[in-house]
């Protein structure tokens, strides 16, 4: 992978160990049965949580106490257009990382214009996960449909519509998050043989990253790999372990603080929500499962929630 600018900063000071008295239970809040759910994002402006079902091109919205709906189903020529991630916009509506480019919609999901073309995006590549940085820029990365090594990239969409290729040579772009002070970008390429959480020096004013990341958390090769991530108010990282049936909490320096078992084998991405950001939501998937495996995991593909005893940090809306 390639990057931009400057040297990496040293790791933050060690956080004190933290472990709940016992793992809190998970509850199903939306029984969506999504093939590949991704990136739950709390929108304080509307008091709702949005998330996507990637292959179906669906943007879901959940309002605690009121229920859920599908804001949009993106399609072209009668076929779904994959949506890898979405985020609220500051003025209302949504930004989407779709298989045909970045898209902007109104609050009801109505497209405002055609897709913004993205370099290197073609029929064999789609977006996979994305998030807004502290300044309201939308970041999203790609993966080839056949997960060809090095075929993906990480992009940044600025509020003025400028699209920048930030990293190339990515295999399966996944988790993104920022430290509470905005000075560190955390990033996961799940397609590496031995994936890791990388930490990049970050300039919130320009959106530029340091040339050389450092490996914050390393994972052994195997079927359990890091997927999506979220950063809480204490600067700790919450990482979904695809194939491992867990969500893990790590200190800012990379030490494992707690492990939360999940009632599905393929959790995809955690995200804090609720008025106090004290609820932890989790998207999940049944992608790649046969009928017997799906029968054994009836909760796969649903949106789950727990209350872990810590709070998240606000996630900015897209500024465009």
Let me know the angle formed at the C-alpha of 46 by 104 and 113, rounded to the nearest 5 degrees.
Answer: 10
Among the listed residues 212, 214, 216, the one whose alpha carbon sits nearest the alpha carbon of residue 3? 212
| Degrees, nearest 5: CA angle 191-58-196 | 20
- Kindly write down the DSSP assignment for every residue of 130-184, as one continuous string: EEE-TTS-EEEEEEETT--TT-EEEEEE-TTS-EEEEEEEESBEEEEEE-TTS-E
Per the residue annotation, which of 100, 227, 232, 279 is the catalytic one?
A: 227
Structural contact between residues 60 and 32, judged by C-beta atoms closer than 8 angstroms: yes
For residue 206, give both structure tokens: 């320009």
Question: Are the beta carbons of 28 and 283 closer than 8 angstroms?
Answer: no
Whether 227 is catalytic: yes
How many angstroms separate the Cα of 261 from the Cα of each of 107, 244, 306? 35, 9, 11
Look-up of token digits 């072209």? 76
**CA-CA distance, 34 to 18, in Å (whole number)?**
32
Q: Report which of 93, 116, 5 is spatially closest to residue 45, judged by C-alpha positions.
A: 93
Residues labelled catalytic: 227
């Amino acid at each position: 992978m390639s990057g931009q600018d400057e040297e990496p900063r040293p790791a933050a000071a060690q956080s004190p160990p933290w472990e709940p008295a016992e793992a809190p239970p998970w509850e199903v809040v939306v029984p969506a049965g999504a093939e590949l759910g991704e990136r739950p994002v709390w929108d304080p402006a509307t008091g709702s949580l949005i998330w996507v079902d990637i292959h179906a091109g669906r943007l879901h919205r959940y309002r605690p106490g009121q229920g859920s709906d599908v804001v949009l189903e993106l399609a072209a020529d009668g076929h779904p257009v994959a949506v890898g991630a979405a985020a609220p916009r500051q003025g209302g509506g949504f930004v989407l990382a779709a298989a045909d480019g970045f898209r902007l919609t109104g609050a009801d999901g109505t497209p405002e214009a055609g897709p913004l073309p993205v370099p290197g995006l073609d029929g064999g590549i789609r977006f996979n996960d994305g998030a807004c940085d502290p300044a309201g820029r939308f970041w999203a990365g790609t993966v080839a449909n056949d997960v060809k090594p090095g075929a993906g990239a990480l992009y940044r969409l600025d509020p003025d519509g400028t699209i920048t290729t930030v990293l190339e040579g990515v295999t399966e772009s996944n988790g993104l998050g920022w430290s509470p002070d905005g000075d560190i970008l955390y990033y996961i390429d799940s397609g590496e043989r031995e994936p890791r959480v990388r930490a990049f020096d970050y300039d919130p004013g320009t959106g530029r990253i340091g040339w050389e990341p450092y490996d914050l958390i390393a994972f052994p090769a195997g079927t359990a790999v890091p997927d999506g991530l979220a950063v809480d108010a204490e600067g700790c990282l919450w990482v979904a372990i695809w194939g491992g049936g867990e969500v893990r909490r790590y200190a800012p320096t990379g030490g494992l603080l707690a492990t939360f078992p999940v009632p599905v084998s393929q959790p995809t991405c955690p995200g804090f929500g609720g008025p106090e950001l004290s609820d932890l939501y989790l998207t999940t998937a049944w992608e790649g499962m046969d009928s017997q495996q799906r029968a054994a995991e009836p909760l796969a593909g649903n949106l789950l929630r727990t209350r872990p005893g810590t709070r998240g940090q606000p996630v900015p809306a897209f500024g465009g």
